[in-house]
């Protein structure tokens, strides 16, 4: 049974023991083991036991072990890159760059972020209202974090939650996509080798195993994937009353102003629309260009994109790697084909590409001019090597049209006037707004990776992501030897005390403070009298 058919059989009782992923370049089938749905909760229990040991050790020691894990990933990068290339059809050097070779710097930055996010906070309390009291808020690991990932960056999609989850003291049960299972297992195996048994466990399969993970007893879920699946996962998590972080689809826009450096901008736009064959949640899919420079800019962009190589274009020598690899699945190829076909039928002009490459699930790098809102290619996530150009007359018009999208991950403006760019960036309805660049911050834990609207409410990697991995616990220490001034009885001194507190909070002067101090003694006496009443009190 094919992995991509598994969705439709999720409700069946018998679960297949193996599944087949497909190399999207050669279309060769690769068989891999699948986790039985019923075994998932047992694996979560094992992870929970491992988390108890792990949460006891210091952040310093956890950091040391993660740096060691980063070293092992880097040492084994050739194995990892080969698996990625086999499972995604991507060039080895692209796989190594985007997923493996920078893991050490990612972990080091993640550790710095963790030190900030996991820091205890001291709480200051007024000694008049709350005598003798102090409090700290500490960050407690949630326990076991379930991480469900897509196929587009089958290793690095895990980094942004795997490392913060582990640094926080949690165990992790991770589920790779059914299209890229073996490279996910490779990452989990390396984690086990370095960190010990059961701290990072891997479950394999499609929708039914993903559901079993969310419902199987994890304490929190990080989901990265499509909007439709994200809604389903959020509903399951809501039912379990567990936190859920959602990093979903995108339809990023870039705006090219008339004063932009047209050469650099053409190269930058080509990079961040075509990287990973456009299978990136933050690919530039909508390109708004000021009419005044549109012809000269689009000519440059067309030149760059026409030079990008792909399998089947006749320019590649056998030993050469292509700039553009295949799409991951037959379904993805069908989506891209449909979007382009519909745009052309509605009047878009194909400047280059426009068709499947003829090799595996490949699609030619494609530039479409004269696109308008309402086309699939400007509304829905295409997730392929396709740019839809929309010509605009004014900046205000462009911003309004950019912000109409139901997605919002990255948005960029390209201009030689940084101040103008910055002002426009602030008006973009996105999680990450850039001037003269796009997309690259996804691999930097120093910044929140997050979106708006249907892109989901998740925050990844950075210090701002930790709600999913820890919960705050307040520890209050009370050294007051006397009863507190606001304890029973509710007598006349109580009313005067309450009034004096209000006057103090309104900024009352020294007189109010003295009154409050005097009342404290009366309040203590009144409260103690409940235990040892005198004749007068009775
Ligand atoms: P998908 O939603 O089909 O699958 C994602 C994961 O969810 C897979 O592991 C899949 O097996 C699992 N899954 C499927 N049904 C499930 C269910 N009912 N319950 C639990 N798990 C289930 O997405 P995909 O096609 O693998 O990935 C492409 C999408 O991911 C694109 O929309 C892309 O924009 C998005 N993405 C977003 C980000 C981001 O940071 N915002 C990053 C990468 C990818």
Q: Is residue 455 included in any domain, yes or no? A: no
* CA distance readout (Å), 518 to 160, 477, 509, 511, 522: 56, 25, 15, 11, 7
The C-alpha atoms of residue 270 and residue 264 are separated, in whole angstroms, by 10
Q: Who's near 79: CB < 8 A, 6+ residues apart?
A: 186
d(CA 302, CA 380): 23
Angle at 18 between CA 17 and CA 19, to 5 degrees: 135
Instruction: Say which range, 14-18, 194-198, 229-233, has the weakest mean pLDDT.
Output: 14-18
Q: Which residue has the tokens 């309040």?
A: 523
Mean pLDDT within 195-206: 98
Compute the distance from residue 534 Cα to the ligand 1 centre, in Å: 72
Residue (of 237, 204, 277, 287) closest to 34 by Cα position: 204
User: Per mean pLDDT, which range of 13-22, 431-440, 510-519 is the poorest?
Assistant: 13-22
Whether the predicted pLDDT of 3 surpasses 60: no
Q: Is residue 9 over pLDDT 60?
A: no
Distance from Cα 333 to the centre of ligand 1, integer Å: 16
C-beta 222 within 6 A of ligand 1: no
Q: Is the CB of 280 under 6 A from ligand 1?
A: no
What whole-number distance in Å separates Cα of residue 379 and Cα of residue 391?
A: 16
Sign of CA dihedral 57, 63, 69, 75: negative
Q: Yes or no: say if 22 and 32 are a contact pair by the CB < 8 Å rule.
A: no
Tens of pLDDT, residue by residue over 402-432, are: 999 999 999 999 999 999 999 999 999 999 9
> Per the domain annotation, does 422 fall within a domain?
yes
- Pocket test residue of 9, 154, 226, 449 for ligand 1, highest count of atoms within 8 A of CB: 226
* Domain limits for position 352: 252-444
How many distinct structural domains can be found in the chain? 3
Are the C-beta atoms of 207 and 183 separated by less than 8 Å?
no
Q: Which residues contact 507 (CB under 8 A, 6 or more apart)?
A: none
Whether 376 maps to a domain, the answer reads yes
Nearest CA to ligand 1 atom 23: 225
Q: How confident is the model at residue 14 (pLDDT cuts 50, 70, 90)?
A: very low
Within this chain, do residues 379 and 524 fall inside the same structural domain, yes or no?
no
Do 106 and 244 fall into the same domain?
yes
What local confidence, expressed as pLDDT, does residue 8 receive? 38
Which residues are annotated as catalytic? 247, 281
Q: Are 73 and 192 in contact (CB under 8 A)?
A: no
To which residue do tokens 């220490």 refer?
Answer: 477
126 has a pLDDT exceeding 60? yes
- 123 has a pLDDT exceeding 60: yes
**What predicted TM-score, i.e. pTM, was given to this entire model?**
0.94
Residue at 59 is within a domain: yes
- Report the pLDDT averaged over residues 39-63: 98
Residue with tokens 């420079």: 293
Measured in angstroms, how far is the CA atom of residue 122 from the centroid of ligand 1?
Answer: 39
pLDDT at 537: 62
pLDDT at 1 over 90: no
If 0-12 CB within 10 Å is exposed, 13-18 middle and 19+ buried, where does residue 513 land?
Answer: middle
The two tokens of residue 122 are: 């001291």
Same domain, 280 and 242: no
Ligand 1 centre and the CA of 301: distance in Å? 31
- Which pLDDT tens digit goes with each residue over 297-328? 999 999 999 999 999 999 998 889 999 999 99
Flag the least confident range among 136-150, 332-346, 402-416, 521-535.
521-535
Query: Does residue 6 lie in a domain region?
Result: no
CA of 360 to the centre of ligand 1 (A): 22
The sign of the torsion formed by the CA atoms of 313, 319, 323, 327 equals: positive
Left, alpha or beta for 436 (phi > 0: left; psi -120 to 50: alpha)?
A: left
Please check whether residues 69 and 137 belong to one and the same domain: yes
Question: Does the pLDDT at position 16 exceed 70?
Answer: no
CB atoms within 10 A of CB 396: 11
Q: Is 247 in the pocket of ligand 1 (CB under 6 A)?
A: yes
Strands 252-256 and 410-414: parallel
Q: Is 80 in the pocket of ligand 1 (CB under 6 A)?
A: no
Q: Is residue 69 part of a domain?
A: yes
CATH number of the domain within which 215 lies: 3.40.605.10
Asked if residue 41 and residue 61 are part of one domain, the reply reads yes
Q: Which atom of ligand 1 is nearest to the CA of 10?
A: 18
The pLDDT of residue 11 is 39
Say whether both 170 and 261 belong to one domain: no
Nearest CA to ligand 1 atom 9: 177
Are 348 and 239 within one domain? no
Q: Which atom of ligand 1 is nearest to the CA of 225?
A: 30
Q: Is residue 459 part of a domain?
A: no
Same domain, 211 and 281: no
Q: Does the CB atom of residue 458 touch ligand 1 within 6 A?
A: no
Is there a single domain that holds both residue 148 and residue 168? yes
Q: Which of 150, 203, 361 to mutate to test the pocket of ligand 1 (most atoms within 8 A of CB)?
A: 150
Nearest C-alpha to atom 39 of ligand 1 is from which residue?
Answer: 247
**Taking residues 106-113, what's their average pLDDT?**
98
Q: For the chain, what's the residue count?
A: 538
What angle (nearest 5°) sits at the alpha carbon of residue 107, between those of residues 206 and 212? 20
**86 & 123 share domain:** yes
Give the pLDDT band (50/70/90) at residue 4.
Answer: very low
Q: Average pLDDT in the 171-189 region? A: 97
The answer to whether residues 35 and 117 belong to one domain is yes
Residues 35 and 177 in one domain: yes
Residue 354 lies in a domain: yes
Q: Is the CB of 281 under 6 A from ligand 1?
A: yes
Q: Is 151 in the pocket of ligand 1 (CB under 6 A)?
A: yes
Mean pLDDT for the chain overall: 95
Expressed in angstroms and rounded, the spacing between residue 229 Cα and the centre of ligand 1 is 6
Mean pLDDT of 246-258: 98
């Amino acid at each position: 049974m094919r992995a991509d058919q598994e969705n439709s059989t999720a409700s069946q009782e018998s679960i297949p023991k193996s599944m087949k992923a497909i190399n999207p370049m050669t279309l060769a089938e690769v068989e891999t083991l699948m986790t039985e749905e019923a075994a998932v909760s047992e694996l979560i229990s094992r992870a929970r036991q491992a988390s108890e040991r792990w949460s006891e050790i210091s952040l310093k020691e956890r950091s040391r072990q993660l740096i060691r894990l980063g070293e092992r990933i880097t040492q084994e990068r050739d194995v990892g890159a080969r698996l990625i290339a086999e499972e995604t059809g991507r060039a080895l050097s692209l796989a190594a760059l985007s997923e493996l070779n920078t893991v050490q710097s990612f972990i080091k930055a993640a550790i710095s972020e963790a030190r900030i996010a996991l820091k205890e906070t001291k709480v200051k309390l007024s000694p008049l209202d709350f005598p003798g009291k102090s409090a700290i808020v500490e960050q407690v690991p949630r326990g076991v974090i379930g991480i469900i990932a897509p196929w587009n960056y089958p290793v690095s999609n895990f980094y942004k939650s795997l490392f913060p989850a582990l640094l926080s003291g949690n165990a992790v049960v991770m589920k790779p996509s059914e299209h890229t299972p073996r490279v996910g297992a490779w990452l989990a195996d390396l984690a086990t080798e370095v960190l010990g048994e059961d701290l990072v466990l891997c479950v394999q399969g499609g929708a039914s195993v993903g559901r079993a993970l969310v419902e199987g007893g994890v304490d929190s879920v990080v989901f990265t994937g499509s909007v439709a699946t994200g809604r389903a996962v959020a509903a399951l998590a809501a039912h379990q009353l567990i936190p859920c972080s959602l990093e979903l689809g995108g339809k990023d826009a870039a705006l090219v102003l008339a004063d932009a450096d047209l050469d650099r901008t053409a190269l930058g736009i080509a990079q961040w629309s075509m990287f990973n064959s456009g299978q990136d949640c933050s690919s530039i899919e909508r390109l708004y260009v000021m009419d005044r420079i549109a012809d000269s800019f689009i000519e440059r962009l067309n030149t760059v994109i026409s030079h990008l190589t792909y399998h089947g274009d006749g320019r590649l020598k056998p030993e050469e790697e292509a700039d553009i690899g295949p799409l991951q699945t037959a379904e993805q190829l069908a989506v891209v084909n449909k979007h382009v076909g519909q745009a052309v039928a509605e009047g878009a002009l194909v400047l280059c590409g426009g068709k499947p490459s003829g090799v595996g699930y490949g699609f030619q790098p494609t530039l479409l001019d004269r696109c308008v809102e309402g086309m699939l290619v400007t509304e829905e996530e295409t997730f392929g090597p396709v740019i839809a150009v929309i010509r605009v007359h004014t900046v205000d018009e462009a911003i309004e049209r950019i912000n109409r999208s139901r997605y919002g991950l990255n948005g960029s403006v390209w201009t030689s006037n940084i101040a103008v760019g910055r002002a426009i960036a602030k008006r973009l309805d996105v999680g990450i707004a850039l001037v003269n660049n796009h997309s690259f911050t996804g691999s930097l834990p120093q910044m929140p990776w997050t979106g708006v609207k249907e892109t989901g409410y998740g925050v990844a990697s950075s210090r701002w992501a930790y709600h999913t991995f820890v919960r705050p616990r307040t520890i209050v220490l009370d050294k007051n030897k006397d009863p507190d001034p606001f304890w029973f009885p509710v007598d006349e001194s109580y009313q005067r005390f309450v009034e004096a507190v209000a006057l103090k909070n309104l900024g009352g002067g020294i007189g109010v403070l003295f009154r409050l101090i005097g009342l404290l003694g009366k309040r203590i006496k009144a409260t103690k009298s409940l235990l040892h009443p005198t004749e007068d009190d009775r």
